[in-house]
Amino acid sequence: MPHSILFLCNPAMKSLALLDALPDEVNLTVTLDAATIATKVPEADVLVLNTDDQELIRLAVTEGKRVQWIHSLMAGVEKKLVPEIRDVVAPFTNARGVYAESLGEFVLAACLYFAKDFRRMRRQQAEHRWEQFEVNMIAGKTMVILGYGEIGRACAKRASAMGMRVLGIRRRPEYSYGDPYVERVVAFDKRAAVIPEADYLVLAAPNTPETKGLVGAAEIAGMKRTSVLINVGRGPVVEEAALVQALAEEQILGAALDVFDEEPLPAGHAFYGLDNVLLSPHCSDMTPGWLDDSVRFFLKNYQRFRAGAQLENVVNKELGY
C-alpha cells in the first residue's frame, strides 16, 4: 500500500523540488491550510513539519490517527514539541546535525574576529587611520563547548585543527569518551570548574528545561576578562540580562550571538548598541542549499522508514532533543 506523506510547509519552498525523488506511488500533500490539513491528515502515514504554528501541528497530530512517523525539517524542536506529539507512539525525528558544519565554521570565524580584532581594522579603515596594533593567535587557546553534540563536535574539529585545546560539557559525558577532538568532557553540574578555563566559551545546547539558564551571572562572572562567549545553540541557554551587563561593563571581551531569547531581536535591544558584540540574525547556518540539505536528510530517513529500519535522529520527547 503506498504511503501518504503530509508536509506542513509553505508550498512555495524551492527545496521541495527534491521531493520528486520520492517513489511515484507516494501520495504527497504540501500545505499550511488548516482545512486541507484536516482533510488529508486522516490518511497520512508520515507527517513532516516545517512550521512553528502550534495550532496546525496540534490539528495534524490529533487528527492523524494513521501517522507512524513525525519529522521536523529543523534541528530545534522546542516550539514543535507540543503535548500531542509527546503523547503519541509515533517516533519524532529532526534535522539534528544537518547544519553542524556551517555552524562550526561560524564559531571559528567568531574566534578569529575577536582574536584579530577585525572590528578595529574596519573602524580604522573607515577613518582613513594607519595605526598598528597587536593581534592574538587562537592556536594554544582553550575552547570550552557547552552542549557537546553534533554541532559541538563540528566546532571542536575545527578548533583542534587550528591548534586549540578543547574541553566539553554535556549531559552524558560518556558519549564523548575517546573523541579525538576534545581533551575531556564533564557533566553539566561540573561546568563551574571548566568555564573559567575558556578563552572561547561556545554554547551549542538545545533549549530544554535542563539547559535553560545554564550560563547565568555566576558562570559569566567566572569567565576571564579576555574571554569571548559564542552562542549558536539557543538563546535561553544563557541568561540574557546577565550577559548584557557583563558586556556593557566589559567583564568579558565580547560575544558572538546567532540566537536570542526573542527573535527577531527587538529594535532598541542593548545588543545592537554594544561594540563588543558580533550579532548574527540567526542565519549563521543559512548557506546556499541549507534547506536542500534538510530535505535530502528527510529523503534518506524515508528510505529507512520504507525498509522498516531504525530511523536516524529520533528525538527523546521527554528531554526535548
Does a structural domain hold residue 211? yes
Closest CA to 231 of 199, 204, 265: 204
Percent of the chain with pLDDT over 90: 99
Residue with cell 531569547: 261
What is the average pLDDT across 84-93? Answer: 97
233 and 220 in a common domain? yes
Nine-digit cell string for 193: 570548574
Can you give the pLDDT at residue 255? 99
Neighbours of 293 (CB within 10 A): 18
121 and 258 in a common domain? yes
Q: How many domains, in total, are found in the chain?
A: 2
Nine-digit cell string for 192: 563551574
Can you give the pLDDT at residue 315? 97
What is the average pLDDT across 207-226? Answer: 97
For residue 126, what pLDDT band results from cuts at 50, 70 and 90? Answer: very high
* Cα gap 321→315, rounded to integer Å: 5
Q: Render pLDDT for 244-296 as a digit per residue (tens, 0 to 9).
A: 999 999 999 999 999 999 999 999 999 999 999 999 999 999 999 999 999 99
Closest CA to 233 of 258, 252, 212, 210: 258
Q: Render pLDDT for 53-80 as a digit per residue (tens, 0 to 9).
A: 999 999 999 999 999 999 999 999 999 9
202 and 223 in a common domain? yes
Does a structural domain hold residue 319? no
Whether residue 264 is preceded by a cis peptide bond, meaning omega within 30 degrees of 0, is: yes
Does a structural domain hold residue 315? no
What is the average pLDDT across 110-114? Answer: 98
What CATH number has the domain bearing residue 267? 3.40.50.720
221 and 111 in a common domain? yes
118 and 92 in a common domain? no
Q: Render pLDDT for 173-199 as a digit per residue (tens, 0 to 9).
A: 999 999 999 999 999 999 999 999 999
Can you give the pLDDT at residue 101? 97
User: Is residue 1 predicted with pLDDT exceeding 80?
Assistant: no
Closest CA to 227 of 211, 247, 213, 210: 247
Nine-digit cell string for 124: 580604522
Can you give the pLDDT at residue 195? 98
- For the entire predicted model, the pTM comes to 0.95
28 and 126 in a common domain? no
Domain residues for the domain of 158 are: 100-279
Does a structural domain hold residue 317? no
77 and 181 in a common domain? no
130 and 271 in a common domain? yes
253 and 116 in a common domain? yes
Closest CA to 230 of 289, 159, 133, 171: 159
Residues with catalytic function: 234, 263, 282
For residue 221, what pLDDT band results from cuts at 50, 70 and 90? Answer: very high
Higher-pLDDT residue of 286, 2: 286
Does a structural domain hold residue 320? no
Percent of the chain with pLDDT over 70: 100
294 and 275 in a common domain? no
User: Is residue 109 predicted with pLDDT exceeding 80?
Assistant: yes
Q: Render pLDDT for 137-158 as a digit per residue (tens, 0 to 9).
A: 999 999 999 999 999 999 999 9
Taking all residues of the chain, what is their mean pLDDT, rounded to a whole number?
A: 97
Can you give the pLDDT at residue 27? 97
